[in-house]
Chain A
Amino acid sequence: MTERVTEQLVVGDVVADHTYWITRENLVRYAGASGDFNPIHWNERVATSVGLPGVIAHGMLTMALAGRLLTDWLGDPAAVVEYGVRFARPVVVPDDDIGVAVRVAAAVTEVRDDGLVALELTVKVDEQKVLTQARALCRLPADRPSQP
């Protein structure tokens, strides 16, 4: 993966894209791992009683999956220096074995002289953005060739 990072990056480059699937099982696992046991993420009755269309994914799980795209690309997880998102739309997770597809793509918005790269993430379910203002600042590996 590192070779891709060390290539010359240009604003507008889509450096990575991937489709992640979220099932109810993933929600239960994430609830346990994160300690976020809000019932809207595992209980249909509660979710619909508060006006949601159904059980929804933890916003932080969607954020973590979009972040995975970055760390898969970078290699070193600690190369992410800043990461922020707005949870624009709930991700409804159906009660089946397939789950919901979350499509994530990362595009370069700025290549800085200090070796940091700003990226904008597009995170969509059914062609609708579920995260907006999803932006990250990443440090490229030290062996990256210097800018011309």
Chain B
Amino acid sequence: MPIDPSVVGRVYPPQLYEVSREKIREFAEAIGDANAAYIDTAAARGYGHADVVAPPTFVMIPVMNGFDLLMKDLGIEFARVVHVDQRFTYSQPLPVGTRVEATTRLDGVRAVAGNDLLKIRTEVRAEDGSDICLSEATLLVRPEDSDGRDASD
């Protein structure tokens, strides 16, 4: 059953996330990125940062926490979802120790060839309310009666 367009405009409770030194290191290792700004405070200071910073796509972690809320709310299983596009606009770096709030808004729903395309906007802010990153994503959701339902096992 297609997603009811009346859900467009829903805003989900801000998700709190604290950026830790070990998570930055783990993420950088997982993408094979040896940039010293992720692990070495002195190197990060050389670029004008107070301490180590997160890689550009690290912010997807708090963004995904918001996606999870939205998908639960709409009854969408993970394996039915395909990431179509992703865009980040950064206002400031994301240094270790930052506590962010990710606020997720469903900006649009469009049915295309039996699938639903969801436009999701996530505003990631620091505790003081300043913007860190805007995430704009499109997710494709396959219908429930497709083979995808087996994948949630």
Contact = CB atoms under 8 A, between A and B. Distances in A.
Interface of A: 20, 26, 29-30, 32-36, 38-40, 46, 49-51, 59-61, 63-65, 67-68, 70-72, 75-78, 80-87, 133
A64 B89 contact: no
Interface in B3-42: 23, 26-27, 29-33, 35, 37-38
Interface residues of B, number: 45
A140 B84 CA distance: 29
A94 B14 CA distance: 38
B151 A50 contact: yes
* Main SS at interface, chain A: helix
Interface stretch (B57-65, B99-107, B111-119, B121-129): B57-65
Contacts of A39: 79, 151
Nearest to A87: B83
A59 B142 CA distance: 17
Given A59-B86, A72-B35, A85-B86, A38 B27 contact: no
A144 to B, nearest CB: 14
